[in-house]
């Protein structure tokens, strides 16, 4: 894991170990209806500036989207603008999760 991303395998291990963390899905609602990770907080990208101040900035957080582009932008925003200290993007997004961890997950 580098400073801003986590692999699907690393996230799987953290979830298996019940590590305390928050998942934030920044995809659009129609994308979330196709597939999603259980217990993820759904905050579409355009709602992040409104909703981020209410989030605990110290809770370890993994942000994800379809391929990792939007989630990388959100991670940068949360760190630089909101003072988050422990936030990473799921490298490859939910697509990586579906192809590397949960191959039965619906893909798009």
Active site (catalytic) residues: 65
Instruction: Say how many C-beta atoms besides its own lie within 10 A of residue 45's C-beta.
Output: 16
Element of type H or E holding 73: helix 69-80
Q: For residues 75 and 53, is the Cβ–Cβ distance under 8 A? A: no
């Amino acid at each position: 894991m580098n400073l801003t991303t986590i692999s699907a395998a690393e996230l799987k291990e953290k979830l298996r170990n019940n590590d305390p963390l928050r998942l934030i899905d920044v995809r659009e609602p129609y994308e979330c209806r196709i597939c999603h990770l259980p217990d993820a907080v759904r905050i579409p990208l355009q709602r992040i500036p409104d909703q981020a101040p209410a989030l605990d900035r110290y809770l370890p957080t993994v942000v994800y989207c379809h391929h990792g582009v939007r989630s990388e932008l959100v991670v940068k925003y949360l760190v630089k603008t909101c003072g988050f200290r422990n936030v990473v993007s799921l490298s490859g997004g939910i697509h990586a999760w579906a192809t590397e961890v949960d191959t039965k997950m619906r893909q798009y």
